[in-house]
Chains A and B, each alone.
Chain A
């Protein structure tokens, strides 16, 4: 296998506390090593920034709802015209719901190499894996949704925690999932009854269980199964004024829970797109930021991580497993709406959304995301996402970096807003002069996310022995300082990208579709006859498919499956 030497770049690697030192990075047999022979291919990174390949902890890039988004938004392609095939590249297009190829190429341009699909309906796991299989370059994995699953609701209500854990292990194995995702716990099921759960104490109809019990049950099950990632929560009451109290209540459920895993993960709860959950006020008229309160709580509680979900002020497509929220949204903006109830398990909805800088609510949402990221004390626990495509397409990450790293660019944008005074008044963003460093950005985009995913021993850093995922950006931290436009351009146009020791981008041109792999987690639990019986009964009585048509077979649906084995038999 080839050897590569990336010479003379400014290296940023929080896992080794390297803050822009000039260093050479050597690669051999797909791994980072301390030295290579003189025959190694040399990449001259003089005057450029070198980081580990980016790791996205929460994005929607594959599966049934992404594809419905593509189908029902033909006009999305107007924002990004199809590019014809070129070299190894396939034809690609789409803006907020791009094709799988465009997803891969754009993430590669951003220097990302690992991307996690954040919401996989178990019933549509096959579809999700087929799309991931067809997404080149990127290592991927997907989180199946558990928060409204009838098995979970039943087991947790009856406090059958062993059964709950055994069922989770079975489902992860069947759907080739990576971790436990929980979307609007209980609320999506309640919506099947025309209701919702807006606080952690609202009971789910019929099941008579509260979101609090679901969240707590899933956190404990996650820890008893020793999974690499923690419970991944999209809390109740997303996107409504005054929802921050629900968010704090949800976060408090993790208090006192300790983690026990061999993956280096320290958190027991990851709260996703926290920006959407940090709203104050009672209506849209007195809507305001409660970002500081929520971030203050996260700063103080080391067993929680979060990603932000920055609003990028674009026309985009919202899609979430939170069915009732999307119905609420279509009633607000009167645009088209698609919805699915996934039998027995979950649901989802899709609505296009235009985040306009001249609408004050959008301006405040934009402020809240930045405000929270700037108030975070530990960026290993506060990650950069746009909840792609909900708050904006992932292709805007460089723009978000620009806003985080350059106060002037934030001020300049605020200044062009139609409701500037109102937007400034509703959040503390204008009073924050903090500018993040590249080191902190590296925490938010690779080191922190890889650690939270339990993948710190594989990616997210440049330590010896890690997978050789390396991005080289045309940004010189000595001479470019924090030049706003340079930041946005450079971090969206990696000059070199190495993945698993293979050169993907050479001199700004994609030269290989790489050899992507798909992570999944196989947990061994004690045999559990009860759960086996329950599963077969549920398939006989309620599912429209049989167990045999449900299972995701590695050879048929996945490219390079990479299984992480966990023994939870104790």
Chain B
């Protein structure tokens, strides 16, 4: 696997839209060619070389390419966007759209990432050692097809509207989460190790939420069904299971309706 190291050399006055910061866009290109790729700042088009130092050539394919981003990239958007394979390591923070529409490969962010990360993600893995912003793994604005596969692990906190319209895949949140988790979900799984605020699984028809901490306000559309003993994310515990959202239509299997399930640790 070839490693391309991109180090930020100059902070932009506005924000950089770096749609080329993914193994797919870099594959087959030399360091020199990469520094000539376009990036967008406001309405102007500039090149990677204007703001970044590029070191190392990319592999022949995305799968053979590892991209390491160094320095303070908290003003850089679209890192790992639409990637299908390969690896991206972000050493600092990143702005919006990390790994959106990602279908494969791995992204590791050592700092925080911004809003709208992993939009409609369908595969691959994202690990965030810091916090993630709002709309993590939500669907694209207006779309009814959100995250469908892959795994996201956030060690810190996550903002609001996480996993809207999720249909598959898994999200593990080490810290706390803001309002609206798995709204409109039709599958998928979210594990919250910290605390939640409110509106967990609103309008969800399928999917599972596991909550280890506390919830401020429960949704009125969830009804208690039973207690179960489960091992979740390596922890064995007793959970109270709630079925919902009862205000929604639900698919049936063998005549029994399938509900979204909310597991609250007892």
Q: Are B140 and A75 in contact (CB under 8 A)?
A: yes
A334 at the B interface (CB under 8 A):
yes
Contacts of A74 in B (CB 8 A): 140-143
- Mark each residue of chain B from 76 to 111: 1 if its CB lies under 8 Å from any CB of chain A, else 0: 000000000000000000000000000000000000
Chain A residues whose C-beta falls within 8 Å of the C-beta of B141 in the assembled complex: 74-75
Residues of A within 8 A of B140 (CB): 74-75, 78
**B249 at the A interface (CB under 8 A):** yes
Which residues between 120 and 144 of chain B lie within 8 Å of chain A, taking CB atoms? 139-144
Most buried by A among B139, B141, B249: B141
Whole-angstrom distance between the Cβ of B78 and the nearest chain A Cβ: 14
Instruction: Tell me whether B143 and A78 are in contact (CB under 8 A).
Output: yes
Check if B144 sits within 8 Å of A335, measured CB to CB: yes
Expressed in whole angstroms, the Cα–Cα distance for A78 and B144 within the complex equals: 13
Whether A334 lies near B249 (C-beta < 8 A) is yes
Q: What CA separation (Å) do A550 and B128 show in the bound complex?
A: 57
Measured between C-beta atoms, what is the minimum distance from A480 to chain B in Å?
37
Chain B residue with Cβ nearest A75: B143
Note all chain A residues with C-beta closer than 8 A to B142. 72-76, 336
Q: Name A66-95 residues within 8 Å CB distance of B.
A: 72-76, 78
A72 vs B143: C-alpha distance when bound (angstroms): 10
| Nearest CB in chain A to that of B143: its residue | A75
A76 smallest CB distance to B (angstroms): 8
Q: With both chains docked as a complex, state the minimum distance between the C-beta of B203 and any C-beta of chain A, in angstroms.
A: 11
User: Distance in Å from the Cβ of A12 to the closest Cβ of chain B?
Assistant: 42
* Complex Cα–Cα for A334 and B186 (A): 12
Which A residues are CB-close (under 8 A) to B249? 334
- Residues 36 to 85 of chain A near chain B (Cβ within 8 Å): 72-76, 78
Interface residues on B, range: under 10
Bin chain A's interface residue count. Answer: 10 to 19
Report the minimum CB–CB distance from B161 to chain A (whole Å).
Answer: 15
Please, how many angstroms separate the alpha-carbon atoms of A335 and B143 in the complex?
Answer: 10
Give chain A residues whose Cβ lies under 8 Å from the Cβ of B143. 74-75, 78
Please give, as numbers and ranges, the residues of chain B lying within 8 Å of A75 by CB-CB distance.
139-143
Nearest Cβ on chain B to A316's Cβ, whole angstroms: 14
| Residues of chain A from 315 to 367 with CB closer than 8 A to chain B in the complex | 334-336, 352
- The docked-state distance in angstroms from the alpha carbon of A72 to that of B249 is 22
A73 to B142, CA, bound (A): 6
Nearest-Cβ distance from residue A269 to partner chain B, whole angstroms? 38
Residues from chain B with a CB closer than 8 A to the CB of A72 are 142
Q: Please, what's the 1-or-0 string for B134-162, where 1 marks a CB less than 8 Å from any CB in chain A?
A: 00000111111000000000000000000
Please, which residue of chain B has its CB at the minimum distance from the CB of A76?
Answer: B142
Bound CA–CA A145/B251 (angstroms): 39
Chain A residues contacting B144 (CB-CB under 8 Å) are 335-336, 352
CA distance A72 to B144 in the complex (A): 12
Which residues of the other chain, A, contact B139 by a CB distance below 8 angstroms? 75
Bound Cα distance A409, B57 (Å): 45
A334 to B, closest residue via Cβ: B249
Q: For A352, list chain B residues within 8 Å (CB).
A: 144
Q: Mark B225-266, 1 if CB is under 8 A from A, else 0.
A: 000000000000000000000000100000000000000000
By beta carbon, the residue of chain B nearest A352 is: B144
Greatest chain B CB density within 10 A among A75, A335, A336, A352 is at A75
Q: Determine the distance from Cα of A249 to Cα of B143 in the docked complex, in whole angstroms.
A: 40
Please, how many angstroms separate the alpha-carbon atoms of A335 and B142 in the complex? 11
Query: A78 CA to B243 CA in the complex, in Å?
Result: 34
Task: Tell me the smallest distance from the CB of B266 to a CB of chain A, in Å.
Answer: 34
CB-based nearest B residue for A331: B249
- Give, as a whole number of angstroms, the nearest-CB distance from B205 to chain A: 9
Give the one of B139, B140, B143, B249 with max A CB within 10 A.
B143
Bound Cα distance A352, B141 (Å): 14
Nearest A residue to B140 by beta-carbon distance?
A75
Return A314 CB to nearest CB of chain B, in Å: 16
Residue of B nearest to A78 (CB): B140
CA gap between A336 and B139 in the complex, in Å = 14
Q: How far is the CB of B103 from chain A (nearest CB, A)?
A: 15
How far does the alpha carbon of A73 sit from the alpha carbon of B140 in the complex, in Å? Answer: 10
- Chain B residues closer than 8 Å to A334, beta-carbon distance: 249
Residue of B nearest to A71 (CB): B142
**In the bound complex, how far is the Cα of B143 from the Cα of A314, in angstroms?**
16
Closest residue of B by beta carbon distance from A336: B144
Kindly state the separation between the CA atoms of A361 and B20 in the bound complex, as whole angstroms: 41
Q: How far is the CA of A335 from the CA of B139 in the complex (A)?
A: 14
CA distance A336 to B142 in the complex (A): 9
With a cutoff of 8 Å between Cβ atoms, the chain B residues found around residue A335 in the complex are 144
Q: Considering the chains assembled together, what is the distance between the CA atoms of A415 and B144 in angstroms? A: 29
- A23 to B128 Cα, complex, angstroms: 69
| A223 → chain B closest CB, angstroms | 45
A72 to chain B, nearest CB (A): 7
Q: How close is B17's CB to chain A, nearest CB, in angstroms?
A: 14
Contacts of A78 in B (CB 8 A): 140, 143
Q: How far is the CB of A562 from chain B (nearest CB, A)?
A: 37
Provide the bound-state CA to CA distance between A74 and B120, in Å. Answer: 14
Bound Cα distance from A259 to B139, whole angstroms? 54
Q: Mark A5-24, 1 if CB is under 8 A from B, else 0.
A: 00000000000000000000
Closest beta carbon of chain A to B71's beta carbon, Å: 30
Report B204 CB to chain A, min CB distance, Å. Answer: 13
C-alpha spacing A334/B248, complex, angstroms: 11
Give the residue name and chain of the A residue nearest to B205 (CB).
Answer: A334
Q: Please measure, in the bound complex, the distance between the C-alpha atom of A250 and the C-alpha atom of B140, giving whole angstroms.
A: 43
Interchain nearest-CB distance for B188 vs A (Å): 17
Between B139, B141, B142, B143, the greatest number of chain A beta carbons within 10 A of the residue's beta carbon is seen for B142
Enumerate chain A interface residues (CB-CB to B < 8 A).
72-76, 78, 334-336, 352
Residue contacts A-B, CB under 8 angstroms, 19 given? A72-B142, A73-B142, A74-B140, A74-B141, A74-B142, A74-B143, A75-B139, A75-B140, A75-B141, A75-B142, A75-B143, A76-B142, A78-B140, A78-B143, A334-B249, A335-B144, A336-B142, A336-B144, A352-B144
Given contacts A72-B142, A74-B142, A74-B143, 13 further A-B contacts (CB under 8 A): A73-B142, A74-B141, A75-B139, A75-B140, A75-B141, A75-B142, A75-B143, A76-B142, A78-B140, A78-B143, A336-B142, A336-B144, A352-B144
Those 10 A-B pairs whose CB atoms lie nearest each other, nearest first: A75-B143, A74-B142, A75-B142, A74-B141, A75-B140, A73-B142, A335-B144, A78-B140, A72-B142, A75-B141
